[in-house]
């Protein structure tokens, strides 16, 4: 990982201004690997070296990524006057400068959301040409039939004429008319609109995977987990529908509990 200036890391990881940081360094309040450091121009590797400010360890790595299990009632934004934001699911000390949700889920939808300060990663995930797949566990008003799955696989045309890319869907043989659906794009309310075009209705929607990264089934609603830099590339993989389907089947009780917890 490329090295960073110490003062830049402190500016990114604390609420202090650059001028404040100069004063803080002069006071001897910063340590690198247990040794007091007063030179803000010193280059360090935040993935390897430990930096503390007033004895408190800073969030490491050049960029940070957190996977959160979004409950209902939270919106994917950095601030909002009407709703709580997904950033509020993290402790205040982890809400570093520049942190934002990479992608969105509707306020009434739940599941995997990535919070990061890495704009390049977010662009690679969200760029239309990347087609990073996103997997959703949906509870429907009525079963997803083989005919429905076939129409989705062909590329459905919505009621307003919007053309959708081919999508994979497969019902789960469990009570509640659940199905797993995989999209390679992110149009407005797309999953709900697609099933509406099939004369069905999405009762609940829970995102369970992005690319090759699966939402940990043990992660409670509202919980979070840090994503290490070496694991970030999993989010950019194509994933495997059948493998993720089998994983959801195996851990269905955990996923369904998380999904309906806030309903």
**61 near 46, Cβ under 8 Å?**
yes
Decide if 33 is catalytic: no
Q: Can you read off the two tokens belonging to residue 120?
A: 């390049």
At residue 194's C-alpha, the angle toward residues 191 and 195, to 5°, is: 90
Q: Are 65 and 47 in contact (CB under 8 A)?
A: no
Question: Helix, strand, or coil here: 119?
Answer: helix
C-alpha–C-alpha distance, residues 140 and 179, integer Å: 8
The length of the chain is 263
Given a contact cutoff of 8 angstroms between Cβ atoms, the answer to whether 74 and 86 are in contact is yes
Query: Strand, coil or helix: what is 202?
Result: strand
Instruction: At 86, list the tokens.
Output: 């997904």
Active-site position among 45, 47, 80, 106: 106
- The C-alpha torsion from 200 through 202 and 208 to 211, rounded to 10°, is 50
Q: Token pair of 237, please?
A: 């993989």
DSSP assignment, residue 67?
E
* Main-chain phi, psi angles of 180, to 5 degrees: -105, 130
d(CA 7, CA 29) in angstroms, rounded, equals 13
Active-site amino acid positions: 106
């Amino acid at each position: 990982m490329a090295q960073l200036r110490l003062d830049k890391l402190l500016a990114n990881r604390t609420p202090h201004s650059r001028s404040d940081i100069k004063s803080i360094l002069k006071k001897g309040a910063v340590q690198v690997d247990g040794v007091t450091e007063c030179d803000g121009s010193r280059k360090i590797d935040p993935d390897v070296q430990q930096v503390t400010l007033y004895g408190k360890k800073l969030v490491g790595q050049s960029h940070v990524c957190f996977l959160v299990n979004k409950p209902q009632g939270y919106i994917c934004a950095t601030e909002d006057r009407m709703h709580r934001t997904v950033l509020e699911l993290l402790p205040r000390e982890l809400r570093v400068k520049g942190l934002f949700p990479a992608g969105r889920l509707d306020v009434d939808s739940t599941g995997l959301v990535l919070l990061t300060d890495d704009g390049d990663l977010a662009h690679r995930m969200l760029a239309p040409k990347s087609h990073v797949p996103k997997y959703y566990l949906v509870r429907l008003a009525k079963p997803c039939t083989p005919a429905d799955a076939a129409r989705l696989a062909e590329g459905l045309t919505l009621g307003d004429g919007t053309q959708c890319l081919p999508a994979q869907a497969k019902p789960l043989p469990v009570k509640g008319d659940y199905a797993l659906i995989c999209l390679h794009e992110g149009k407005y309310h797309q999953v709900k609109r697609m099933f509406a075009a099939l004369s069905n209705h999405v009762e609940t929607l829970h995102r369970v995977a992005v690319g090759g990264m699966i939402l940990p089934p043990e992660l409670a609603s509202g919980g979070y987990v840090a994503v290490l830099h070496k694991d970030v590339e999993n989010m950019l993989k194509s994933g495997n529908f059948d493998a993720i389907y089998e994983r959801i089947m195996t851990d269905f009780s955990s996923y369904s509990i998380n999904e309906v917890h806030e309903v």
